[in-house]
Each structure stands twice: as structure tokens, then as C-alpha cells.
Amino acid sequence: MSEQLTDYKNSTKKVYIKTFGCQMNEHDSERIAGLMAEAGYDLSERPDDAQVIILNSCSVREKAYDKLRSEIGRFGSLKKNNPGLVIGVGGCVAQQEGKRLLGGSRLIDFVFGPRAIHKVPEIMERVSSDGRGVVEIGAPGDKMIDANIKRDNGITAWVSIMEGCDNYCSYCVVPYTRGREVSRPSNNIINEIEGLASDGFKEVTLLGQNVSSYGKGLSESVDFPTLLSKIEPIEGIERIRFITSHPRDLSVDLIDAMAKLSKVCEHIHLPLQSGSDKILEGMNRGYTYEEYRKKIDLIRNRIPSISVSTDIIVGFPGEYKDDFHKTKDALLGIGYDNIYLFRYSRRPNTAALSLDGHLPEDLKIERLEEILLMQREIASRKNGSYIGRSAQVLFDGQNSKEEGGIVGRTRTNKVVYVKGSRSLIGHLKEVKIVSTSFASLRGELLENSINA
Ligand code: SAH
Ligand code: SF4
Ligand code: F3S
């Protein structure tokens, strides 16, 4: 019997998937895993017991291609020991480089872009019959959105509501790798979320590069606030989140919908990028700092408990000292709960490449560090204001660093650690916050919420 079991185990094919980049890419990897599962592959935690390795690449920053090549290089010895090992590259570098990737490394067997994910099983068959060399890039409009998705946590789920981006911010490669913006019909989204609810999921995060322009180009008349109001009644779903909103397209209707719909969480990620109007113009962002600031004031007015996070780029071409100071002033003035900080990176095809005033790397790093230090203090202060308050937490996992510890998030997207039974994972509980750091909160379960 045990021998049979071992045989069975050995005969199971395995795929190892490594993901770089944003949530869209993470979510795409869940789709790849779903399709590979249909083709008979289990997910492997380690590359060394897999028959197929897939790297889902990101191209948002410089040297993405070099980094990818050195990643792949690490699998060279595995391939030497196991010539049958198949290595594929997906994601945004794959889209950008296409078949150049095959020429650049003998280790790569196939390449597929984000819009060709649905073809992965077919690609695998072609690789096994014809050998290496398959490249599938996919065209805009090629949809894989309804593909099978293998989510690894039964509590919180990403749901794609649109693909691509039409904004062409002057620094950004995404419109070139993900293609034009295409919204997904609302009934497909609702069906998927109803399915998630019946599978026991409690929270959905709607994904798109610019969710606030959802609905453009669809034959039905639907916008993002309407979509939210269609999701709100789905029984079993307790929380609705979304990323990312573009400040230019953030409407009063959306703010009203957020205030009115009880499941929409009190958190917004609204990328500012820079506090200087001159830099914002060079970035082609389509708003001024003042316009952005007014929207933040409006949101805070309507939803006082809201937490706000942002993306900031330092060292954009032409960012002189006073522009940098404007960004620092903006961060101090707005007081974000959290920021994602980047230093400007040259990307192929992008308009910013030809701007004057590119800055040296060490200056960019200096500015980055200055802002990091400043933001730590702001975030510590923000989190400190939670002490003594109670907050609703959805627990979604164990705390690997603490025996008997579990972790979850508040509606405002703060990470909260508590001591508590694993049976609470998947449940919403009230927690009293007892201490905080710049990165997370620590709480105690309130008496009446200790049992699941
Ligand atoms: N669609 C989202 C985010 C896309 S990429 C949005 O518009 O908000 C995530 C973040 O990466 C961007 O907000 C930006 O801050 C950063 N980023 C993108 N391209 C970059 C580049 N060339 N250099 C540095 N940061 C960049
Ligand atoms: Fe890039 Fe701008 Fe589109 Fe965001 S909105 S993905 S930063 S082009
Ligand atoms: Fe995402 Fe990176 Fe592509 S941020 S869209 S995986 S370039």
C-alpha cells in the first residue's frame, strides 16, 4: 500500500511558479496555477522537485531583463541534472522581449505574455511534442479573464475587473506590456464573486490599473460606483476593496458609493507620485497637487475613518530641490497611512526617457531614504492613534513568527497581530488595539469574540 502511494506521488507532475511585480501578476499566477492544475500539475513549493518552472516576470523597473536572466541562471544546474525540466517565462518582460528571451538564454523553453495565459496548456503540449521555442504573446482583447483560478487562501480573493491601461504616464511601461484598457462585463464579475461567496470567501479586492475608469468601452452602461453597488448585496462577502484608483478619475460618485455601501472598506490607495505640479505635468498624470488634495479632503470629510495610501516616485527627470521639497510637504500635509516609494527608473518606449534633467542614482537614493525616514514617523503616529480603540479584523493566517499567533487586517487595511486560536482564521472579530509600530498593530481579542 505504502509503495503504491509512493508511486502515485512520484507520478504526479509538479509546477513551480515564481511571481514578480504587482497584484495583477500575482493574480495571473493564480490563473496559470489553475490551468496547470487542469493539465495535471500540482503546485510545488520548491523548484527542485518540479517538472515545469514558470517565472512570471515584472518589467516596471530598470534591469528587469538582467534580473530575470540571473534568476533563470539559478535553475541551470537543475536543468543539467534533469534535461526534461521545462522552463517558461510569462509576465511583462515576456511581453516586452518576446522571442528575444529565447535567444538570450538556452535555459528558456517557452515565453508567453499576460494576454496569452489561457494558452499555457496548449503551449506545454507543443513544447513536449516539438521541443523548446514556443512564443505566444497574445493580442489586446485576447481574454483569459474567465480562466480557472487557483487561489491559495479561501478567505480573501483578487478579482480582475479590467486589464491594461490607457493612461501612458510618461515613466510607465505598463501600457506597453499590458496593452489597451479593456473592462470585463459586470455579469462575469458578479458571477465570479457569487461563486467565491459560495466557496466561503469573505473579502474581494477588485483589480485594475485604473479601476475608477471601469466600464469604458463596454456595451452595457456601467461605471465603477455602479459595479460596487452590484457587488454589495452578494451574501457571504463581507468586505470589498479595490486597487488602483487614478486620482484624475476619482469621482464624487465613487466617494458617495464608498460612504454609502457598508461592505466597501475604509481604505483608498490613491497614487500621488509627486507633490510638484511641474513634475506631475512631466509625468502626464492629468492633475495638480491642489486638485489631488481637494479629493483627499473630500474623501476624509465623507469617510472620517478612511486610511489613505499612495505611490511616490523620487528622482523623476527635472526633479530639482524645490520639487522634491514639494513632495515632502505633500507627504507631511496629507499624512498617509502607508506609501510605496520608488526611485525613477528608465523604461523602454516611455516618453520620460527623452526628458531633460535625468538625475544621478546616488541623489535618487538619498531622496528615497530621506522620505522613508520621514514616512516612518508619520505612519507610527497614524498607527499610534489606534491604541485603545477596537477594530474589526478579518483573520487570514497564522503568524509564522509567534507560537499561537494569528494575523489579519482591519477594514482600514492595517495588519493586526493577536494571540488566538487558529479556528478564528476566516472569521471577522473585534480586537482591542494595545500597541503599534509604523508597520502594524498588535491587539487582544475582545471577550465576546474569542470563539469562532
Ligand atoms: N496603475 C497603478 C500602478 C502601476 S505601477 C497606478 O497608476 O497607480 C505601480 C507604481 O510603480 C506606480 O504607481 C509608480 O509609482 C511606480 N512606477 C511605475 N513605473 C515606474 C518607473 N519607471 N520608475 C519608478 N517607479 C515607477
Ligand atoms: Fe502606469 Fe500610469 Fe497606467 Fe498606472 S495609470 S499603470 S502608472 S500608465
Ligand atoms: Fe505589474 Fe510589473 Fe507588469 S508592476 S503590470 S507585473 S510591469
- Which pLDDT band holds residue 83 (cuts at 50, 70, 90)? confident
Query: If you compute the radius of gyration of the chain from its CA atoms, what whole number of angstroms results?
Result: 23
- d(CA 212, CA 206) in angstroms, rounded, equals 11
| Spatial contact of 76 and 47, defined as CB atoms under 8 Å apart | no
Query: To test ligand 2's pocket by mutation, which of 59, 165, 170, 216 has the most ligand atoms within 8 angstroms of CB?
Result: 165
* Binding site membership of 272 for ligand 2 (Cβ less than 6 Å): no
Look up residue 449 and give its amino acid. Answer: S
Ligand 2 atom nearest to 273, measured from its CA: 7
Parallel, antiparallel or unpaired: strands 307-314 and 203-207? unpaired
For residue 280, how many other CB atoms are within 10 A of its CB?
A: 24
pLDDT at position 1 is 38
Query: To test ligand 2's pocket by mutation, which of 24, 169, 310 has the most ligand atoms within 8 angstroms of CB?
Result: 169
Output the 3-class SS for 379-390: HHHHHHCCCCCE
Q: Which tens digit of pLDDT belongs to each residue from 332-347?
A: 999 999 999 999 999 9
pLDDT at position 129 is 85
* Binding site membership of 174 for ligand 2 (Cβ less than 6 Å): yes
- The residue whose C-alpha atom lies closest to atom 1 belonging to ligand 1 is 209
Which residues pair with residue 182 across a beta bridge?
A: 163
| Spatial contact of 329 and 312, defined as CB atoms under 8 Å apart | no
pTM for the model: 0.93
Mean pLDDT of 416-445: 97
Cis geometry, peptide bond prior to residue 6 (ω within 30 degrees of 0) = no
Task: Report CA-CA distances (Å) from 206 to 33, 170, 200, 224, 231.
Answer: 20, 25, 17, 10, 10
- Cell 474623501 belongs to 299
* Binding site membership of 145 for ligand 1 (Cβ less than 6 Å): no
pLDDT at position 90 is 95
